[in-house]
Every structure is written in structure tokens, then in C-alpha cells.
């Protein structure tokens, strides 16, 4: 990389000071951060085409450091892109000449309450680490997107993530109780002190950050609902005479409030590819903590499926 103009050199010097030297501008790092899993970016990379390169990557360790970075970006008119696990699929972290603010070092679990069934963590915590932490306490988020090994909390919120078990437990937006973020001008958007499940205190503007893809600030901390690990589980797969019949059965199960934890309908092609069974398949996992509830749900599911 050639010599940088003086204001950018000043900018980088200030960034370096703000994060205690945790900043990189070398070609290998910039290449690594020049794409996520956006298929078009992957294709361009394979074709050897040029991808937009950031100016630098910084790894803050606290909300105060994030504030400093964002303020510097404003002062020097350098765009910034928040970055968590890097498994996004729409190129949200890609930007030419920007500062990538990678929150991965902000990865502490800050608070867990068994009584309130909630957990508060920094936005760089990997989903699988957070889940492991909760499992040790007998709890779970039951948030299992296919990017489970790589995704981190901030990215999950900023992409409005959904997972295998979201049919019952809800997408990330339903797990989210509150968050802390740094606004695009460097102002702090604090988390509520009292983490009650909901608070009707005016428009919930923080929800704008859900699905914001890094455009509305840097999420630094979030509080999420947690659930006790289920004690009973029941799994089935059903074949249907047609995809439409499977869809009807699924609809009836949901409308009867027998909501399974997982309900996935695969058409013939998908079933053949995944299960070596070329039929329209409905895969269900019904699991609940209480055996009585589980039995009741199973009987509704079996009755509806038999009809179709």
C-alpha cells in the first residue's frame, strides 16, 4: 500500500491510540476483511476481480473504545463498518476505504439470571460460546442458524437472524430484550437498567437496529431471553403425497397451537439431496420441558398428519 495522505495518517494514528494498537492495515488482513459470504463477492474473488478494500481494521475491547473510533470516523469523514462473525451473506461489512470495527474482542457474558431467564452479553460473543455458557447453567437460547459456528451476537441482531428452532422460540428479534449501541455520531444508546420483558415507554427506536446491517450504529451489548433446556424431546419425519399436502398439514398444526420447535418441509429434490429419499418430507421436532404438554402436542400433530 502506498503512502497515505496526511489526514488519513493522522486518522490511523488516532485509531491506533484509541484501541491501544489493536489495528491492522496490512494487505493480508485487508484482503480477509474485503468480503463476507455474499455469493457475488465470493464469485468475484474466485474470478480474481478486485473487491472493495477497507482502510484498516480495529478491534475495540470496550464501548468507550467504540465511541472513540466512531467519533474519529466522523471527524475525519471516514466511513465505518461494524463486523462480528463475518458470516453475513449480503456484503454488509464490505466497504472501500472504511474503518472496519470488529467487535470480536468484546465477547464477555456480563450477566445471567436464572430467575429472570435472561442473559446479557457483549456483541462480539460467538453464538456457540454463549450457548455453551447457557447449557452449563441448564439453559439455552435455542437459536441455531446454519451459521451457528461462526456468527456472533452483534451480527445476529444486525441481520435479524432466524434459526432451526425459531418456529417455537422466535427469531433473534423475539429473543432480544434490550441492547446498547453506539450511534453513527458516536453517541451512546444505553441499555435499560431494569430488564423487564417489555416496557411501554414510547416508541421502541432501538428496534431499528434489528436488521440494520451496521447502517445505524454499532451494537455493543444485548440482553436476550434464555430458556431452560427441554427435558423431553420427540422427533418425526413424515412423507406426504404432495408438497401442498405437507404445507396444509403444517398450517393446521400451527393454527392448532401445537407449535413444534422445528417444522421444516422439504420438497422432493431437497429431500433426495439431504436424506436420499425423493418424497415430500415434513421434519418435525416437538420438544417441551413438560411431558404432559409434549404428549398433547404430539397427539394433535399425529391427528393432523394422518388426515393428509
Ligand X SMILES: Cc1cc2nc3c(=O)[nH]c(=O)nc-3n(C[C@H](O)[C@H](O)[C@H](O)COP(=O)(O)OP(=O)(O)OC[C@H]3O[C@@H](n4cnc5c(N)ncnc54)[C@H](O)[C@@H]3O)c2cc1C
The residue (of 140 and 147) whose beta carbon lies closer to ligand X is: 147
- Say if residues 37 and 87 touch (Cβ distance below 8 Å): yes
Asked whether 219 and 191 are in contact (CB, 8 A), the reply is no
Q: Which residues contact ligand X by CB under 6 A?
A: 36-37, 81-89, 92-93, 103, 123, 145-147, 150-152, 154-156, 158-159, 161-163, 213-214, 218-219
Which CB atom, from 215 or from 242, has the smaller least distance to ligand X?
215
**Minimum distance, C-beta of residue 81 to ligand X, in the bound complex (Å):** 5
Q: Minimum distance from CB of 235 to ligand X (Å)?
A: 19
CB of 4 to ligand X, least distance (A): 24
**What is the SS3 assignment for 302?**
helix
User: What DSSP character marks residue 126?
Assistant: B
Cell output for 36: 463476507
Least separation in angstroms between residue 145's CB and ligand X is 3
Supply the angle between the helices 243-255 and 291-307 in degrees, to the nearest 10.
140
> Which lies closer to ligand X via its Cβ, residue 70 or residue 294?
70
Q: Measured from the CB of residue 171, what is the shortest distance to ligand X in angstroms? A: 8
Q: Which is nearer to ligand X, 106 or 294 (CB)?
A: 106
Return the number of the residue (180 or 288) whose C-beta is nearest ligand X: 180
Kindly give, in sequence order, each residue whose CB lies less than 8 Å from that of residue 200, ignoring residues fewer than 6 positions away: none
- Which helix (H) or strand (E) is 142 found in, with range? none
Query: Cell 462480528 belongs to which residue?
Result: 84
CB 68 within 8 A of CB 103: no
Amino acid at each position: 500500500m502506498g503512502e497515505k495522505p496526511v489526514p488519513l495518517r493522522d486518522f490511523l494514528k488516532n485509531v491506533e491510540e484509541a484501541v491501544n494498537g489493536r489495528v491492522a492495515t496490512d494487505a493480508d488482513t485487508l484482503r480477509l476483511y474485503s468480503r463476507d459470504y455474499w455469493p457475488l463477492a465470493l464469485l468475484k474473488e474466485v474470478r480474481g476481480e478486485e473487491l472493495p478494500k477497507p482502510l484498516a481494521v480495529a478491534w475495540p475491547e470496550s464501548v468507550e473504545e467504540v465511541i472513540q473510533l466512531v467519533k474519529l470516523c466522523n471527524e475525519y469523514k471516514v466511513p465505518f463498518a461494524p463486523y462480528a462473525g463475518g458470516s453475513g451473506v449480503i456484503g454488509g461489512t464490505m466497504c472501500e476505504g472504511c474503518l472496519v470495527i470488529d467487535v470480536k474482542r468484546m465477547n464477555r457474558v456480563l450477566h445471567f439470571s436464572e430467575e429472570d431467564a435472561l442473559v446479557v452479553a457483549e456483541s462480539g460473543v460467538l453464538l456457540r460460546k454463549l450457548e455453551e455458557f447457557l447449557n452449563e447453567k441448564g439453559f439455552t437460547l435455542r437459536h441455531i442458524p446454519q451459521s451457528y459456528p461462526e456468527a456472533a451476537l452483534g451480527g445476529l441482531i444486525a441481520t435479524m437472524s432466524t434459526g432451526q428452532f425459531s418456529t417455537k422460540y422466535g427469531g433473534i428479534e423475539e429473543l432480544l430484550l434490550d441492547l446498547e449501541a453506539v450511534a453513527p455520531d458516536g453517541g451512546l444508546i444505553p441499555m435499560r437498567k431494569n430488564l423487564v420483558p417489555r416496557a411501554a415507554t414510547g416508541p421502541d427506536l432501538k428496534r431499528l437496529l434489528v436488521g440494520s446491517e451496521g447502517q445505524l450504529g454499532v451494537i455493543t451489548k444485548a440482553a436476550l431471553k434464555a430458556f431452560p433446556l427441554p427435558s423431553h424431546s420427540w422427533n418425526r419425519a413424515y412423507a406426504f403425497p404432495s408438497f401442498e399436502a405437507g404445507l396444509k398439514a403444517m398450517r393446521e398444526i400451527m393454527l392448532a397451537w401445537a407449535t413444534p420447535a422445528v417444522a421444516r418441509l422439504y420438497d422432493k429434490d431437497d429431500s433426495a439431496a439431504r436424506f436420499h429419499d425423493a418424497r415430500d418430507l415434513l421434519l418435525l421436532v416437538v420438544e417441551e420441558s413438560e411431558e404432559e404438554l409434549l404428549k398433547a402436542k404430539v397427539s394433535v400433530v399425529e391427528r393432523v398428519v394422518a388426515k393428509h
